[in-house]
A and B are shown apart, each in its own frame.
Chain A
């Protein structure tokens, strides 16, 4: 079992819709969770981080964390074509505060 799992997609949504991206992780002691966005041919960039159970909102982005169920999600409201990218979930484990474990990413397509 992979440590961090994501559906590869593509997830296709119409412009203006809510895009929901999900990630599950296997290590119960994971402490910190991150979403990176990677445009095609570009390097990843951090868009959200979350450390405690519940929701964290930043503009059109909301990260949700449920440690009991070991999943973290990213909601993108009012999706725009410019949101089309691959979204990487990353988990920072308790014993490796310097090391992120990445999922394989979910490709999001926002249709105009």
Chain B
């Protein structure tokens, strides 16, 4: 089983719908992140969390919200999805002692029509 699990892996939805992407991890890491990946733009940070009570905005947080339900769970929500939120979304974790190693989930491909 994957150490960082994302659900759903693929989702097609319509403009205006609320969508939640879920992430759970078994690595025991405190730090969790949500990135989106678009062709030609690389990975961009949406939100990150250092522990259950800590939530921080990344580069592109507008239109997104997150919830850290437990150390192992970090969810990303799109309250009212729009077509330019069509992207590949990755959850990642890291250990505080590491300055750059992120462990990624398998990704959630979201299409907003």
Contacts and interface: CB of A to CB of B under 8 A. Distances in A.
A43 to B, nearest CB: 4
B61 to A, nearest CB: 13
B101 interface: yes
A34 B102 CA distance: 10
A48 to B, nearest CB: 10
Contacts of A8: 40
Interface of B: 31, 40-45, 48, 50, 58, 90, 94, 99-102, 104-107
A87 to B, nearest CB: 11
Contacts of A49: 99-101
Given A43-B90, A102-B43, 17 more contacts: A4-B42, A8-B40, A31-B99, A32-B99, A34-B101, A42-B106, A43-B106, A44-B43, A44-B102, A49-B101, A88-B42, A88-B43, A92-B99, A97-B99, A98-B31, A98-B50, A99-B58
A97 B101 CA distance: 11
B15 to A, nearest CB: 26
A92 B99 CA distance: 7
Given A43-B104, A45-B104, A92-B99, A98 B94 contact: yes
Contacts of A103: 42
8 contacts: A4-B42, A32-B99, A32-B100, A44-B102, A49-B99, A49-B101, A100-B102, A102-B43
Nearest to B45: A99
A109 interface: no
A100 B44 CA distance: 9
B39 to A, nearest CB: 9
Nearest to A2: B42
Max chain B CB contacts within 10 Å: which of A31, A32, A42, A105? A105
A104 interface: yes
Contact of A100 (B40, B90, B100): B100
